[in-house]
Structure 1
Amino acid sequence: MRNIIIVQCMSTGKNYVQDITNRKCNPIVLELKAKNDSKEAMEYQKQIREGYESMGDFDLIYEQDTYEETLEMVKQYDPLLIIPGTEEGVILATKLSNDLNLPGNPIENLDAMTLKNEMQKRLAENNLRYIKGKTVSTIDEAIDFYEREGLNEVVIKPVYSAASVGVRICLNKDEMIKAVEEVLKQRGCYGNEFDEVLIQERIDGMEYVVNTVSCDGVHRITTIWKYHKAKTEEGGVIYDYDEIIADLGLGESQLVEYAFDVADAIGIKYGPVHGEYMVDENGPVLIEVNCRPMGGSFDSEFLDRISAQHETDSSLDSYLNPEKFHKKLNEGYKLFSYGVIKSLIVPKDLIAESSPIKYISSKLKSFYKISLHDYGDYQPFLKTQDLESSAGDIYLVHEDPNQVKKDVDYIRTLEKQAFQLVLSEGLNKNKLIRNDNDDLRLLLENIKSYESILLVTDEEIDELDILQVAPDKLDEIKGQFDYIIININKSIINKKDDYVAELFLNIFNKIRTGGYTFILKNTYDYLPNGRLGAEALVKIFDLKIQIPKHNLKKIVIASNV
């Protein structure tokens, strides 16, 4: 059995392990040494190792103290291929492949493959559109370039980094100076220090990802994504959601042609390229390339549902199965489902008592999975400033694009109007309980007595001649009802909000088609985000919020129509 070595395996690159096994080869992961003993480097190494648990069976080896020692160690395994499993693995994988005469990308192209300033230089040398910029290590150098070039809006970014860490959009000179100062004091996600930063003119347009695989210098598209990002008050760039491009729109075929030209200019011969591009009125321009599988921790199954292929398997074809590579190339770009990755944006620093979004998102029709950066109750979350500080991602896929877009809109509404249903701080706890049933009696006077009615209540009300049930006995109630009235507070006041969300969605399951639910003020005051939270919960079940009745105020009314 031949060995294939994956250098630093994480994120989407983890799919290589099973793909290699499926080809009757032996996967070997080569783990890199930590950059240093900084907190960031140790945390990154911890993430790497935690990811091994979900990767299946593989052999693990470690980078040695010197490159020469690592090379001699790798020779002993007589590898068929050496490939990078993440951005940090590109340099070593390329060096080893060249020294062992294995298929890969030429060593002379390594700087253009990994350094953001060198990528742009290579484009300029090949008469392709590029972004004007300069590498600086001091504030004075940054100011000199800014003023000399007559710049206004600029982007500050590390020369070597990933996941948008250290990237800042600056609208004026003062913001630029502040950003340079901040980034030069930061460390990257690998724990590396930023000794210099790249200052570039800002290109304002739509941002895309074009993922390709290459076989002996021939390039093939695997997927095209459009990024939707936002800028924080501090100037940080954050991801909102990424959507797959199924049918090319205006200007997007030109983008693909330009991506092929970029791959040629960089000198790509084999394997995957994750290219990020901006498209404005002047056409496409490269932001950066990453010569490894796309990040985002995509499951192979998720990608297979979208395009009947996934990037790591297609990458192995480019090295090992040229015939299949060219067959896929001739088939063209075909998708079978629509996919979106929604990043969860945290509006402020907080400590989450619970995570209702884990249960709520699972009820979305296009739900595939949620990857939340929480490790238990009372988890601290920082305000989202970049990809690394998002709360996590929700993966959505469905044959109907409209369903996916509807689910994205729902999540974005929760973020903006009912965030306690995403990450709950327990703000609605310890309120004074009110036991006023006047609203309930008025409501019952307006409901036809011969309809089936279920009252979910903390305490049974003797004078009411309707079916009543306590929340913890709900499972004993069979069938569905024309009207469900929710009048609870004691049973939820000290419960975590993920429990509360699950309870309400179970209640809504008992509404008959054409039926109604009524959530009294006596109840929604104790829900996360109050009335807005109640309305958000009914929306997850596609219930329609009804126009309030003049004589029935302070009641959320929703129908199953």
Structure 2
Amino acid sequence: MGAIQAKNIVIVDGYSMGRELAHDLKTMGAELFHLCSTPEPPPVFRAGIDATPYRADLGYLGAEDEAARMLLAMDIDHVLAGSEMGVSYAERLAHLVGAPTNLYPLVAERRNKFRMIAALHRRGLLAAEQALVDSENEAVAWAQRQGNWPLVVKPLDSAGSDNVTICRSLDEVRTACRKAFAAHTVFAQPNRQLIVQSWLDGTQYIVNTVSRDGRHFMTDAWRVNIRLLPGYAMVMEDFELLAPESRTASSLLRYTFDALDALGIVNGTAHSELKWTARGPAMIETGARLMGAAMDRDSYAAAGLKTQSIYHALDLMQPEWMNEMRRRSDRYLPGRHLTKVFFAFAGDGVITGVDGLERLLELPTFHAIYRTLPVGTRVHLTTDSTGWGGAIYLVHEDAALIERDREQIREWDAEGLLYEIDYETVEASAAAC
């Protein structure tokens, strides 16, 4: 690898995937500073960040122009988003201090999901039909005009499948809108507008990328196995790494690269969720940031793969090495099969034991379990794609053996044989209130 260049890097809102990025950048010699985009983090992030890799936590320095005045005196090389909530702030701040970032005129298209899909339509790319609504009556009226079911109701700028609902009737559209309008996003912002979209029927995929100066590299791509949950959207069951040379991966790559161009994503990472429809790939949405659901470095390495976070850190710290990678290929080249399996909780409860997780050691393809929950943790019905509960990594040369072990994990999880959870105590406590 090329020589490491010393750099000063600010990570904005490093609450989730920013933890992996901070670790990887620090390992490569970067001087890191953490910055908050809000005076107080939203409740879901109150646990804070891992401060270990940072030289300093700058806290909240005010709006972007105020923060820029302070950063200009610090000789900052890069400003990066450490979570979805930090994307727009980080890009605007990078623009103001003259650091590499994405195309500034399209900054809103990379967070506003309605404008995002509209930008893809303008480029002629396949995506859902949609409407931006201010009320449940507007949503119902649009659904009536569409006349095709199901439809999807979602917040304009939240994350992690928060309040995303698949609706099969006008009553369900109305109920989903009432629920979402009454709620706040995971970033503690009110939902003043919602999006109603046509349902994209087909298998779901994820494509992760790293870009520099408009040249994209696909770091990993996954088939997502999901289970639809009535009254909500879907439960993420597992990710299966795609063979990069497959026709599916190649088609997803071409579509995703075109979508990144349409959204002005030219520097940094992107996490894209797509459906393979009867007409080909179609974008669900893209985040101009790292993938959020579990990147265990050792498990990736066991499959002959680097994480998206490591590729991003290399692109910043050792650009000559990444230039050579891009000259050789536009995509990853793993050596073994890799699958991530996620937990699905059946309701609200408290974890009372974790000894059942030792069953995983019996599986021949088991490699690691990432970010397990300790005894005493309160859990909730799984209704989103956050990967709460950790991820189980299966790595092997034999894909069929991984599939067998994946089914065994699903069976154990459904029977409550991995995490021991007391659901009754929470239910009884709620009933007594």
TM-score for both structures, normalised by structure 2 = 0.89
Q: Distance in 2 between matches of 1:59 and 1:402?
A: 48
Q: Distance in 1 between matches of 2:162 and 2:423?
A: 31
Residues 357 and 198 from structure 1, CA distance in 2 versus in 1: closer, same or farther, beyond 3 angstroms? farther
Residues 240 and 207 from structure 1, CA distance in 2 versus in 1: closer, same or farther, beyond 3 angstroms? same
Q: Tell me by how many angstroms 1:410 deviates.
A: 0.8
Q: Tell me by how many angstroms 1:224 deviates.
A: 0.5
Q: Which residue number in structure 1 is paired with residue 391 of structure 2?
A: 393
Residues 158 and 389 from structure 1, CA distance in 2 versus in 1: closer, same or farther, beyond 3 angstroms? same
**2:348 touches 2:379 (CA, 8 Å); kept in 1?**
yes
Q: Which residue number in structure 2 is paired with residue 42 of structure 1?
A: 43
Q: Distance in 1 between matches of 2:423 and 2:162?
A: 31
**2:131 touches 2:196 (CA, 8 Å); kept in 1?**
yes
Q: Which residue number in structure 2 is paired with residue 550 of structure 1?
A: none
Q: Tell me by how many angstroms 1:97 deviates.
A: 1.1
Q: Which residue number in structure 2 is paired with residue 353 of structure 1?
A: 352
Structure 2 letter corresponding to 1:32: S
Q: Distance in 2 between matches of 1:152 and 1:21?
A: 49
Deviations 1:194-247 (A, max 9, x none): 111110000110111111111111111110011111111323311111111125
Residue among 230, 234, 252 paired with 1:237:
234
Q: Which residue number in structure 2 is paired with residue 335 of structure 1?
A: 334
Q: Which residue number in structure 1 is paired with residue 403 of structure 2?
A: 405
In the alignment, structure 1 residue 94 sits paired with structure 2 residue 91: yes
Q: Which residue number in structure 2 is paired with residue 522 of structure 1?
A: none
Q: Distance in 2 between matches of 1:349 and 1:151?
A: 34
Q: Which residue number in structure 1 is paired with residue 108 of structure 2?
A: 111
Residues 139 and 360 from structure 1, CA distance in 2 versus in 1: closer, same or farther, beyond 3 angstroms? same
Describe how 1:144-293 pairs up with structure 2 within 5 A.
144-293=141-290
Q: Distance in 2 between matches of 1:312 and 1:120?
A: 26
**1:186 touches 1:194 (CA, 8 Å); kept in 2?**
yes
**1:226 touches 1:243 (CA, 8 Å); kept in 2?**
yes
Give 3-state SS (helix, strand or coil) of 1:387's partner.
Answer: coil
**1:383 touches 1:389 (CA, 8 Å); kept in 2?**
no
Q: Which residue number in structure 1 is paired with residue 430 of structure 2?
A: none
**2:15 touches 2:45 (CA, 8 Å); kept in 1?**
no
Structure 1 letter corresponding to 2:343: L
**1:243 touches 1:341 (CA, 8 Å); kept in 2?**
yes
Residue among 62, 73, 77 paired with 2:74:
77
Give 3-state SS (helix, strand or coil) of 2:137's partner.
Answer: helix
Give 3-state SS (helix, strand or coil) of 2:367's partner.
Answer: strand
Q: Tell me by how many angstroms 1:122 deviates.
A: 0.6
Residues 127 and 335 from structure 1, CA distance in 2 versus in 1: closer, same or farther, beyond 3 angstroms? same
**1:11 touches 1:298 (CA, 8 Å); kept in 2?**
no
Q: Distance in 1 between matches of 2:191 and 2:356?
A: 35
**2:71 touches 2:97 (CA, 8 Å); kept in 1?**
no
Q: Which residue number in structure 2 is paired with residue 19 of structure 1?
A: 24
Structure 2 letter corresponding to 1:338: H
Q: Tell me by how many angstroms 1:328 deviates.
A: 1.3
Q: Distance in 2 between matches of 1:245 and 1:56?
A: 32
Residues 122 and 348 from structure 1, CA distance in 2 versus in 1: closer, same or farther, beyond 3 angstroms? same
Q: How many residues align?
A: 417
Give 3-state SS (helix, strand or coil) of 2:107's partner.
Answer: helix
Residues 424 and 65 from structure 1, CA distance in 2 versus in 1: closer, same or farther, beyond 3 angstroms? closer
Q: Tell me by how many angstroms 1:193 deviates.
A: 1.8
Q: Distance in 2 between matches of 1:148 and 1:110?
A: 31
Q: Tell me by how many angstroms 1:134 deviates.
A: 0.9
Percent identity over the alignment is 23
Residues 426 and 239 from structure 1, CA distance in 2 versus in 1: closer, same or farther, beyond 3 angstroms? closer
In the alignment, structure 1 residue 8 sits paired with structure 2 residue 13: yes
Larger Rg: 1
Residues 166 and 60 from structure 1, CA distance in 2 versus in 1: closer, same or farther, beyond 3 angstroms? same
Q: Tell me by how many angstroms 1:335 deviates.
A: 0.5
Give 3-state SS (helix, strand or coil) of 1:275's partner.
Answer: strand
Q: Tell me by how many angstroms 1:183 deviates.
A: 1.4
Consecutive unaligned residues in structure 1, runs of 5 or more: 428-561
**1:346 touches 1:390 (CA, 8 Å); kept in 2?**
no
Residues 132 and 307 from structure 1, CA distance in 2 versus in 1: closer, same or farther, beyond 3 angstroms? farther
Q: Which residue number in structure 1 is paired with residue 416 of structure 2?
A: 419
Q: Distance in 1 between matches of 2:423 and 2:287?
A: 41
**1:270 touches 1:319 (CA, 8 Å); kept in 2?**
no
Structure 2 letter corresponding to 1:63: Y
Residues 76 and 365 from structure 1, CA distance in 2 versus in 1: closer, same or farther, beyond 3 angstroms? farther
Q: Which residue number in structure 2 is paired with residue 527 of structure 1?
A: none
Structure 1 letter corresponding to 2:30: C
Aligned-residue RMSD, C-alpha:
2.3
**2:166 touches 2:231 (CA, 8 Å); kept in 1?**
no
**1:216 touches 1:270 (CA, 8 Å); kept in 2?**
yes
Q: Tell me by how many angstroms 1:388 deviates.
A: 4.4
